[in-house]
């Protein structure tokens, strides 16, 4: 008769346990464990299919949970498109909630949050944002040896009717998702003040515009001028990560981010010709700025200084960017006058040059 491993072990334990009471006790315990162990082994062997099913479910559940967890963590329903846009307005809160971002990083982020297209007023509360009005800038430039007079003089008015435009003109460079910045594009940065920089060729017109606004009792503030490529990319990636953390897939996060921050290499901020301008009484980059005195004044007068409202209302289908009453692009007085008078976009203007 064939004996199993279990039977042999039990038999040996029994024999070993007969020699004294202590051994007997140990042998009984050994037999007990032996029975329990082999019982478990037999059970698992007889129920292999069931076991496999249970393990599979566990693996699948773990995999599913790791993908979808942020949805539950966020305590939000699955988001519709509309809700996604509503989220954008809630940016500052979400960043604070993002666990990986420390308070120190948050402070560094503060300036970077000043992106086109979303509300940052809440985060700005109680923080010292580096922004300058005209007085700061002029004082700074005086210290740097620039003459105040040159800044205060408005640029010469050009004859807009006969202006001969060239697509090669640096002022008319078209930068958008379809037209990334040419690799060989170069320009000289000038410091407005502190870390704020822009193309040196537009500074005088910019200051003249701020001066003219000031004479009307409007204090303009420069928010985001030049942004470096690396910074732009970093901001873009940060955005994608943020939305993925909210349960979006990479593709959805990319799409949404590209509506808010420009895709790397397609932002005018990178060539120093774009400025986000607000005023002392309305500092957030949101649509409401267009209704303020400063917003209205800028729309009426920016062209006199070579600037245009780059992303006007109702032209989203051309610019692919939502209405941004705070984003001004320098194109030179002649082109700006035509663009603002005809209420067209830079895309349309450049198209006509072809
Ligand atoms: Zn902008």
List the domain boundaries for the chain.
Answer: 5-73, 130-353
The CA 343 to ligand 1 mean position distance, Å, reads 19
The CA 254 to ligand 1 mean position distance, Å, reads 19
Catalytic one of 91, 110, 283, 324: 324
101 — pLDDT class (breaks 50, 70, 90): very low
pLDDT reported for residue 39: 85
Q: Is 70 left (phi over 0), alpha (psi -120 to 50) or beta?
A: alpha
Mean pLDDT over 329-341 rounds to 97
pLDDT reported for residue 249: 92
Mean pLDDT over 187-196 rounds to 85
Distance, in Å, from the CA atom of 252 to the CA atom of 255, rounded to the nearest integer, reads: 5
Q: Give residues with Cβ within 8 angstroms of 333, minimum separation 6.
A: 155, 156, 157, 158, 205, 303, 304, 305, 306
The CA 116 to ligand 1 mean position distance, Å, reads 5
User: 192-207 pLDDT, tens per residue?
Assistant: 888 788 999 999 999 9
**In a 3-state reduction of DSSP, which class is residue 216?**
coil
Mean pLDDT over 56-62 rounds to 86
Our answer to whether residue 128 is catalytic in this structure is no
The CA 324 to ligand 1 mean position distance, Å, reads 8
133 — pLDDT class (breaks 50, 70, 90): confident
Q: How many angstroms separate the Cα of 305 from the Cα of each of 1, 153, 278, 324?
A: 107, 10, 16, 19
The CA 212 to ligand 1 mean position distance, Å, reads 21
**In a 3-state reduction of DSSP, which class is residue 295?**
helix
The CA 261 to ligand 1 mean position distance, Å, reads 9
The CA 113 to ligand 1 mean position distance, Å, reads 12
Asked if the model's pLDDT at residue 111 lies above 50, the reply is: no
Contact 311, 322 (CB under 8 A): yes
Q: Which residue has the higher pLDDT, 69 or 200?
A: 200
Contact 208, 151 (CB under 8 A): yes
The CA 269 to ligand 1 mean position distance, Å, reads 6
Write the DSSP string, 9-69.
Answer: HHHHHHHHHTS-HHHHHHHHHHHHHHHHHHHHHHHHHHTHHHHHHHHHHHHHHHHHHHHHH
130-353 maps to which CATH number? 3.30.1380.10
User: 282-320 pLDDT, tens per residue?
Assistant: 999 999 999 999 999 999 999 999 999 999 999 999 999
Distance, in Å, from the CA atom of 237 to the CA atom of 297, rounded to the nearest integer, reads: 35
Distance, in Å, from the CA atom of 232 to the CA atom of 173, rounded to the nearest integer, reads: 19
User: 245-270 pLDDT, tens per residue?
Assistant: 999 999 999 988 887 777 777 888 88
Report pTM.
0.54
Distance from the Cα of residue 305 to its chain's centroid: 30
Mean pLDDT over 324-330 rounds to 97
The CA 276 to ligand 1 mean position distance, Å, reads 5
pLDDT reported for residue 84: 45
Q: Helices then strands (H, E): number in the chain?
A: 16, 6
The CA 325 to ligand 1 mean position distance, Å, reads 9
Distance from the Cα of residue 265 to its chain's centroid: 14
pLDDT reported for residue 211: 96
pLDDT reported for residue 32: 87
pLDDT reported for residue 350: 95
């Amino acid at each position: 008769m064939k004996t199993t491993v279990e039977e042999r072990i039990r038999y040996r334990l029994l024999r070993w346990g007969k020699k004294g009471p202590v051994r007997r006790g140990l042998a009984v315990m050994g037999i007990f464990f032996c029975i329990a162990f082999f019982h478990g082994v037999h059970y698992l062997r007889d129920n292999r299919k069931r076991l496999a099913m249970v393990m599979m479910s566990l693996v699948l559940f773990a995999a599913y949970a790791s993908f979808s967890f942020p949805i539950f963590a966020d305590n939000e329903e699955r988001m519709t498109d509309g809700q996604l846009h509503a989220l954008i307005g809630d940016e500052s809160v979400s960043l604070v909630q993002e666990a990986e971002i420390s308070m120190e990083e948050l402070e560094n982020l503060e300036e970077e949050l000043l992106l086109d297209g979303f509300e940052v007023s809440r985060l700005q509360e109680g923080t010292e944002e580096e922004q300058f009005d005209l007085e700061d800038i002029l004082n700074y430039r005086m210290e740097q040896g620039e003459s105040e007079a040159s800044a205060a003089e408005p640029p010469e008015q050009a004859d807009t009717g006969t202006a001969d435009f060239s697509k090669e003109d640096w002022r008319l460079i078209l930068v958008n998702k379809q037209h990334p910045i040419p690799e060989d594009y170069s320009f000289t940065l000038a410091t407005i003040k502190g870390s704020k920089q822009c193309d040196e060729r537009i500074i005088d017109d910019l200051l003249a515009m701020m001066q003219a606004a000031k004479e009307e009792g409007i204090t303009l503030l420069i928010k985001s001028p030049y942004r470096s490529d690396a910074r732009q990319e970093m901001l873009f990636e940060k955005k994608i990560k943020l939305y993925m953390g909210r349960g979006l897939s990479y593709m959805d996060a990319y799409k949404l981010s590209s509506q808010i921050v420009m895709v790397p290499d397609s932002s005018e901020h990178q060539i120093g010709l774009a400025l986000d301008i607000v005023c002392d009484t309305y500092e957030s980059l949101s649509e409401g700025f267009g209704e303020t005195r400063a917003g209205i004044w800028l729309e009426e007068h920016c062209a006199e200084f070579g600037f245009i409202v780059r992303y006007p209302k109702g032209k989203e289908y051309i610019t692919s960017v939502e209405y941004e009453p705070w984003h001004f692009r320098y194109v030179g007085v002649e082109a700006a006058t035509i663009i603002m008078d005809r209420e067209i976009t830079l895309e349309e203007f450049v198209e006509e040059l072809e």
